[in-house]
Amino acid sequence: MLSWYDPLYVDKTLKDREKGIRQRLNEGKVDLGHYLITLAGNGRDHLDVISTSFLSQRALYERLPMVVGLAATKKEAMKLVVKICRDCLEETGGADIRSYLLRKGNWHGNSSECAHDYR
């Protein structure tokens, strides 16, 4: 099971399908054609954008950091990243996105540390 940020940033084209997509991904099923925004796995960067097709790699699936966003396309994922950055800047006056997200929201799913280095 993946760790999900709450409230999840979701591309408006996926709002109606979010629950089903999340359920399939939590069950370990590959859901091609979507993108996840996660906390960066390397501890240096803020966020990563990855294709859900990479989750077919079991090692990546098991070590995926907390998912903070879900998008239909890479372009929409980048728009969500911009929204997350703007939200952080507007609410904190700074750019520490990781701390902002961990402090602001909740996360559901895997109870292990949500910032693994998977590279």
d(CA 85, CA 17): 25
Residue with tokens 């990855």: 50
* pLDDT 10s digits, 84-107: 999 999 999 999 999 999 898 887
Tell me the mean pLDDT in the region 9-13.
Answer: 95
Q: Which residues lie below 8 Å from residue 90, measured CB to CB, with a gap of 6+?
A: none
Q: Are 115 and 41 in contact (CB under 8 A)?
A: yes
* pLDDT at residue 117 is higher than 70: no
Looking at the domain assignment, is residue 113 inside a domain? no
114 domain residue, yes or no:
no
In a domain, 119, yes or no: no
Residue 118 lies in a domain: no
Q: Is residue 99 domain-resident? A: yes
In a domain, 101, yes or no: yes
Residue span of the structural domain in which 65 resides: 4-107
How many domains does the chain fold into? 1
Structural domain includes residue 19: yes
- Assess contact for 13 and 76: CB atoms under 8 A: yes
